[in-house]
Amino acid sequence: MTLIGEPLLSVRNLKTYFVQDEGTVKAVDGVDLQMNARATLGIVGESGCGKSVTARSILRIVDRPGRIVEGEIWFRRPAANGGTGSQAVDLAKLEPNGVEMRSIRGAEIALIFQEPMSSFSPVHSVGNQIIEAIRLHQEIDRRGARGKAIEMLRRVGVSSPDQRIDQLAHQLSGGLRQRAMIAMALSCSPTLLIADEPTTALDVTTQTQILELMRQLQQEDGMAIMLITHDLGVIAEMATDVAVMYLGRVVEQAPVDAIFHSPKHPYTRALLRSIPRMRARSRERLTPIAGAVPHPYDRPAGCPFHPRCPDFMAGTCDRESPGPRTVGARHTVSCFLYE
């Protein structure tokens, strides 16, 4: 059980680089964020800003040639041997395929992948893969694991789970595949669930059902959720706290109300202005963010957002990189406007 007042997850100056012949891609370049138990942290930003690589870094499943080159990932897990309280472990220091990391991955921290069709094996039944996940982390025979898998499928709203459990992934609809992915992720009752764009490939009605299912399961199990998305509407509906990422860094983190009603960073403001408005006049133009995300091999010096920033200050923003500054209760922003 996580101690009151102590964050469940604390990421400090995390850097994950991909060193290639053409140059070094700094996919995650000094991320600082933290989240509490039972909370929902939404991570939002444009494509390529490092959201998914941050999640994979936490789980230590970054594909080669990517690797963590610096930083700490403190995760608070239950005390060993059934003791009271909790203990913090730096996941960045663990071997990715070591015994301790494998005991955490999938059991205490679970991941819902962006596209379940490519995440499930095409030659094994969905149920078989859930059963293997259960048996990997729990001392239970195959018959008992099968019963638990059927119960998990029923719990996430899969109809006729005793029949669906023997079907292959391609025999299920997109919504059922996503529900099966959630069932597998929650089969070992994780403390932290990382959902990487869980509704991207689904229609609007199914999206709503999946989000409502995640909220219901969170209330029942008391888990924390890290929700990665580019959809600010989903963030407004689901998140308690929000971290805004740009070019591998968290530029602003705050409670969800503060992000929507009192955004501080110019990038956060630009994201909110770009949302289509329900009451917009006919043929009214959208407000895009000026410029484009820089090329991975040609990152700007100083603040990474300064080439696109309307509040750019020459001689400062293009020379130095701002660190996080506290601007309110649980509200931090990386911007020279708030020195």
99-120 pLDDT tens trace:
999 999 988 999 988 776 677 8
Burial of residue 276 (CB within 10 Å: 0-12, 13-18, 19+) is exposed
Q: Per residue in 194-244, pLDDT tens? A: 998 887 767 788 888 888 888 988 998 889 999 999 888 889 989 999 999
Residue 82: strand, helix, or coil: helix
The full length of the chain comes to: 339
Per-residue pLDDT of 32-79, as tens digits, reads 999 999 999 999 998 888 999 999 999 999 999 999 999 999 999 876
Give dist(CA 281, CA 286) in Å, integer.
Answer: 11
Angle separating helix axes 174-186 and 142-155, nearest 10 degrees = 130
Spatial distance between the Cα atoms of 225 and 219, rounded to a whole number of angstroms: 11
Asked whether the beta carbons of 33 and 11 are under 8 A apart, the reply is yes
Task: Tell me the three state secondary structure of residue 318.
Answer: coil
Please list the residues that pair with 18 across neighbouring strands.
25, 66
Higher pLDDT, 129 or 2: 129
Cα distance between residue 339 and residue 323, in whole Å = 10
Query: What 3-state DSSP class applies to 225?
Result: strand
Q: How far apart are CA 102 and CA 96, in angstroms?
A: 8
